């Protein structure tokens, strides 16, 4: 990888997500050589991916160059590479651009979409984890609208105008709300040849309520907001398959659609090479102790989505959201400092800052400890928090400007088919695997 070994200890971080960058930023101030590796050369702010896929924001508003973070110190290095294997005996990682030794290794590789072994959904459906995924969804939505305009066959047009999302967690709720707003405010203006009422958005959820991780009150409010926007909710309904045209469920409800988005599960994205006992098999995530050390290893750590730190308060580990990753990254930097100074390690304690989800313009729900609220104020809080946590001043400014513009004009600026999905489906499908 062309990184010279110095007399400083080398800390290699795999993954420049929320956990990886919060750790790297702190380590760059320490007397260590920090090497950050990611398969993309940018950090993705995943909570706003749905706005990229529904034409609300351009990708460069929610992505941030990793080199810009690393350049803060001449002891920091970034390599764009996919790590394929770890050899803990030799303390080496292998990647598609070569090998690298480490003194301390931090795995912050996050999670990936879980299809629960359903090949038809993986082959024919869409999902959203990266910027290319979001751009594929955006192109597909817009291409389907264009095709619907010229399709005379009512059955085919219906399939082009039916949008089906599986999974009513935050991603599914936010995505279906945003598609409904696209219909309510844009389709009616941009596509005068289409009847917006023909465009249906179906949100399918296996459980008996939307936003299952949130309070029942927020869940009820979110369901009400979705209904106000015209999203059709199908609770207690599980998607069984999708052949590229027909979504089959376990009930009598089946949907003909050209746009099926799967947002019903995630699983860990571990790297090969560690002992089987390091992984919690069912979750595909590493078992870590309260210092983020992976079970059976002193110098290999895991943080964020890929780590399960069981405690009395969190018997199944922390929720797979941004805050545990950010807080664990910062905390691990302190513990690496402690290791180097021969000091005692400090156990991690999670500070829950609350959960929120937005359903659309003026509509969001927030759970803050025992308090929960919804509506305009919650939406305002949601916007403020997301702007605050976006990486980079430029991204905050551009996103803020876009939101104000969209709010005032009932418009979405980014509805461009730059890289068609359908015509390049072969290439786009390989992007999907990124």
Ligand X SMILES: Cc1cc2nc3c(=O)[nH]c(=O)nc-3n(C[C@H](O)[C@H](O)[C@H](O)COP(=O)(O)OP(=O)(O)OC[C@H]3O[C@@H](n4cnc5c(N)ncnc54)[C@H](O)[C@@H]3O)c2cc1C
Cβ neighbours of residue 288 under 8 Å, at least 6 residues apart? 294, 295, 301, 302, 307, 308, 309
Check: CB of residue 257 under 8 Å from CB of residue 270.
no
Q: Which two tokens stand for residue 277?
A: 């006992």
Helices (H) then strands (E): counts for the chain: 13, 25
CB of 300 to ligand X, least distance (A): 14
Piece in contact with ligand X (CB under 6 A), picked from 16-24, 183-191, 214-222, 236-244: 16-24
Task: Quickly list DSSP for 142-197.
Answer: HHHHHHHHH---HHHHHHHHEEEEE--SHHHHHHHHHHHHIIIIIIHHH-TTS-GG
Q: Which of 10, 16, 69, 390: binder of ligand X (CB under 6 A)?
A: 16
Q: Which of 12, 13, 36, 49: binder of ligand X (CB under 6 A)?
A: 49
Decide if residue 110 touches ligand X (CB under 6 A).
Answer: yes
Q: Which of 33, 46, 176, 259: binder of ligand X (CB under 6 A)?
A: 46
Q: Which of 40, 67, 156, 396: binder of ligand X (CB under 6 A)?
A: 40
10 Å Cβ neighbour count for 359? 31
Look at residue 238 and give its three-state secondary structure: coil
10 Å Cβ neighbour count for 251? 12
Residue 96 or residue 197: which is nearer to ligand X going by CB? 96
Q: Which of 1, 97, 246, 269: binder of ligand X (CB under 6 A)?
A: 269
Look at residue 391 and give its three-state secondary structure: coil
Residue of closest CB approach to ligand X = 17
Q: From residue 226 to residue 265, what is the string marking binding to ligand X with x (rule CB under 6 A)? A: ----------------------------------------
- Active site amino acids: 174
Residue 254 or residue 290: which is nearer to ligand X going by CB? 290
Q: Which of 3, 67, 82, 330: binder of ligand X (CB under 6 A)?
A: 82
Decide if residue 20 touches ligand X (CB under 6 A).
Answer: yes
Decide if residue 320 touches ligand X (CB under 6 A).
Answer: yes
Counting beta carbons within 10 angstroms of the beta carbon of residue 74, is it exposed (0 to 12), middle (13 to 18) or buried (19 or more)?
A: exposed
Decide if residue 56 touches ligand X (CB under 6 A).
Answer: no
CB of 9 to ligand X, least distance (A): 21
Q: From residue 155 to residue 194, what is the string marking binding to ligand X with x (rule CB under 6 A)? A: ---------------xx-----------------------
Piece in contact with ligand X (CB under 6 A), picked from 33-41, 222-230, 397-405, 419-427: 33-41
Cβ neighbours of residue 316 under 8 Å, at least 6 residues apart? 308, 310
From 339, 285, 314, 109, select the one nearest 331 (Cα to Cα).
339
Judged by CB under 6 A, how many residues of this single chain contact ligand X?
33
Which residues is 357 bridged to in the sheet? Answer: 365
Residue 173 or residue 187: which is nearer to ligand X going by CB? 173
Residue 129 or residue 202: which is nearer to ligand X going by CB? 129
From 53, 14, 231, select the one nearest 137 (Cα to Cα).
53
Look at residue 329 and give its three-state secondary structure: helix
> What is the crossing angle of helices 154-161 and 131-150, to 10°?
150
Which residue in this structure is represented by tokens 């702010």? 45
Residue 135 or residue 321: which is nearer to ligand X going by CB? 321
Which residue in this structure is represented by tokens 């499908």? 429
Counting beta carbons within 10 angstroms of the beta carbon of residue 375, is it exposed (0 to 12), middle (13 to 18) or buried (19 or more)?
A: middle
Check: CB of residue 67 under 8 Å from CB of residue 44.
no
Check: CB of residue 35 under 8 Å from CB of residue 319.
no
Q: Which of 56, 88, 206, 304: binder of ligand X (CB under 6 A)?
A: 304
Decide if residue 38 touches ligand X (CB under 6 A).
Answer: yes
CB of 284 to ligand X, least distance (A): 12
Q: Which of 108, 182, 210, 390: binder of ligand X (CB under 6 A)?
A: 108
Residue 83 or residue 300: which is nearer to ligand X going by CB? 83
Q: Per CB under 6 A, which of residues 385..424 are in contact with ligand X?
A: none
Residue 76 or residue 159: which is nearer to ligand X going by CB? 76
Residue 8 or residue 80: which is nearer to ligand X going by CB? 80
Check: CB of residue 35 under 8 Å from CB of residue 100.
yes
Piece in contact with ligand X (CB under 6 A), picked from 2-10, 11-19, 116-124, 159-167: 11-19
Residue 206 or residue 270: which is nearer to ligand X going by CB? 270
- Summarize as ranges the residues that interact with ligand X (CB under 6 A): 14-20, 37-40, 46-47, 49, 82-83, 108-110, 128-129, 170-171, 269, 271, 304-306, 320-323, 325
């Amino acid at each position: 990888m062309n990184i010279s070994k110095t007399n400083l200890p080398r800390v290699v971080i795999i993954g420049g997500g929320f956990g990886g960058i919060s750790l790297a930023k702190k380590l760059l101030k320490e007397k260590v050589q920090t090497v950050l590796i990611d398969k993309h050369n940018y950090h993705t702010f995943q909570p706003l991916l749905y706005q990229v896929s529904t034409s609300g924001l351009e990708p460069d508003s929610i992505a941030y160059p990793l080199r810009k973070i690393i350049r803060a110190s001449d002891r920091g290095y970034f390599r764009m590479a996919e790590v394929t294997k770890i050899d803990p005996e030799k303390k080496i990682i292998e990647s598609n651009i070569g090998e690298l030794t480490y003194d301390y290794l931090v795995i912050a590789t996050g999670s990936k979409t879980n299809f629960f072994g359903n090949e038809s959904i993986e082959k024919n459906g869409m999902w959203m984890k990266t910027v290319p995924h979001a751009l594929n969804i955006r192109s597909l939505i817009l291409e389907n609208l264009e095709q619907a305009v010229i399709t005379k066959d009512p059955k085919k047009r219906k399939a082009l105008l039916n949008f089906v999302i599986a999974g009513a967690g935050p991603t599914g709720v936010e995505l279906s709300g945003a598609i409904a707003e696209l219909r309510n405010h844009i389709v009616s203006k941009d596509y005068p040849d289409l009847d917006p009422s023909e465009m249906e958005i179906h949100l399918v959820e296996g459980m008996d309520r939307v936003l299952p991780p949130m309070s029942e009150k927020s869940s009820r409010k979110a369901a009400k907001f979705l209904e106000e926007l015209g999203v059709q909710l199908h609770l207690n309904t599980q998607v069984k398959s999708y052949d590229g045209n027909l979504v089959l469920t376990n009930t009598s409800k089946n949907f003909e659609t050209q746009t099926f988005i799967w947002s019903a599960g995630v699983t860990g994205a571990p790297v090969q090479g560690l002992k089987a006992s390091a992984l919690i098999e069912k979750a595909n995530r590493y078992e870590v102790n309260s210092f983020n050390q992976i079970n059976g290893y002193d110098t290999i750590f895991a943080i964020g989505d890929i780590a399960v730190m069981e405690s009395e308060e969190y018997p199944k580990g922390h929720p797979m959201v941004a805050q545990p990753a950010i807080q664990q990254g910062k905390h691990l930097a302190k513990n690496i400092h402690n290791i180097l100074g021969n000091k005692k390690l400090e156990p991690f304690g999670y500070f829950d800052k609350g959960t929120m989800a937005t359903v659309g313009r003026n509509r969001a729900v927030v759970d803050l400890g025992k308090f929960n609220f919804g509506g305009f104020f919650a939406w305002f809080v949601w916007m403020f928090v997301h702007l605050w946590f976006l990486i980079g001043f430029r991204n905050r400014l551009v996103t803020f400007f876009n939101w104000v513009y969209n709010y005032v004009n009932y418009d979405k600026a980014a509805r461009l088919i730059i890289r068609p999905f359908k015509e390049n489906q072969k290439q786009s499908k390989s992007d999907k695997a990124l």
